[in-house]
Amino acid sequence: MLHFAVIGHPINHSLSPIIHTQFAEQYGISLTYETINTTPNHFINTVHQFFKTGQGLNITVPFKQAAFQLASQCSDRARMAQSANVLWKNEADQICADNTDGFGFIEDLNYQNELYCLKNAEILILGAGGAVQGILPDILNQVPKQVVIVNRTLAKAERLITQFNHDTLRVKQTHQLHTPYDLIIHSTSATLSNQLPDIPKQAINQQTVVYDLSYGMSAQLFKMHAEQLGVKQFVDGLGMLVEQAAESFFIWHHVRPKTRTVLSQLHNTVKKAIS
């Protein structure tokens, strides 16, 4: 029996065990997938303990940077993001790291219609945390016209500009947003505490698509906020969650699971949970 887990703090409501169990069923792979809750002080020990018997770990908030730092080998995308959401051991018994969040984000966009094409798009990102760090390399690869980052703590957004050093990338403050964006990516955790980040009306027009990295109740809250501001097209982060998981699954098992049936079941599960 193969053994996998997702590690985070908190972790109780993770959907990853459901997703990976369904992927494994598609290929008749026998595995267990558990959640591990640990504290920052115990993270490194917990990972080494897990790999005494386990084959692969997903990493979530707040350990993605720590996971990248403890790995002996990493992919280009993890190096670009300086954070990792997948760990496994290679044949030389070294811990390897990858970051599949950006892949998951772009893959989910590709399932949507052409409105979501990022080439030449004007993109606004709300937030500058670990998730933005993970998706930015893949977004920049799509050659957008401009990517503006707005974050409550300006210095964190400025750090991303330095890290990625890309001429389409800039930082603004909310009061400096005067023109509409093709895509607004909501990547703050404000809604988890029932708060909402500011979006000025001028940043939205009839064509603006809002992609919220969160899902469930948090996304519902942000969706209502966005619709009140005139947003007509809203996508939540469940698709990204399933696609980044599929890429992890591919790294571990070398086969690509079908994602859309898993996603529609997950949408129903989440809908029931919040109704």
Write each residue from 213 to 252 as x if it is in contact with ligand NDP (CB under 6 A), else as -, in one continuous string: xx---x------------------x--xx--x--------
Residues 160/136, Cβ–Cβ less than 8 Å: yes
Q: Which residues are catalytic?
A: 64
Strand-strand pairing, 31-37 and 2-8: parallel
Minimum distance between the CB of residue 152 and ligand NDP, rounded to whole angstroms? 3
Using CA atoms, how far apart are residues 30 and 112, in angstroms rounded to an integer? 32
Considering Cα of 168, then 140, then 56, then 266, what sign does the dihedral take?
Answer: positive
Query: Of residues 126-155, which lie at the interface with ligand NDP (CB under 6 A)?
Result: 127-132, 151-153
Tell me the window of 22-30, 112-120, 182-190, 253-261 that interacts with ligand NDP (CB under 6 A): 182-190
Contacts of 116 (CB under 8 A, 6+ apart): 109, 110, 183, 209, 211, 235
Residue 83 sits in the site that holds ligand NDP (CB under 6 A) = no
**Pick 89 or 159: Cβ nearer ligand NDP:** 159
Pick from 100, 188, 248, 259 the residue near ligand NDP by CB under 6 A: 188
**Pick 118 or 241: Cβ nearer ligand NDP:** 241
Q: Minimal CB distance to ligand NDP: which residue?
A: 129
Using CA atoms, how far apart are residues 35 and 58, in angstroms rounded to an integer? 9
Using CA atoms, how far apart are residues 249 and 268, in angstroms rounded to an integer? 22
Using CA atoms, how far apart are residues 254 and 96, in angstroms rounded to an integer? 15
**Pick 56 or 130: Cβ nearer ligand NDP:** 130
Residues lying near ligand NDP in the complex (CB under 6 A) are found at 61, 101, 104, 127-132, 151-153, 156, 187-190, 195, 197, 213-214, 218, 237, 240-241, 244
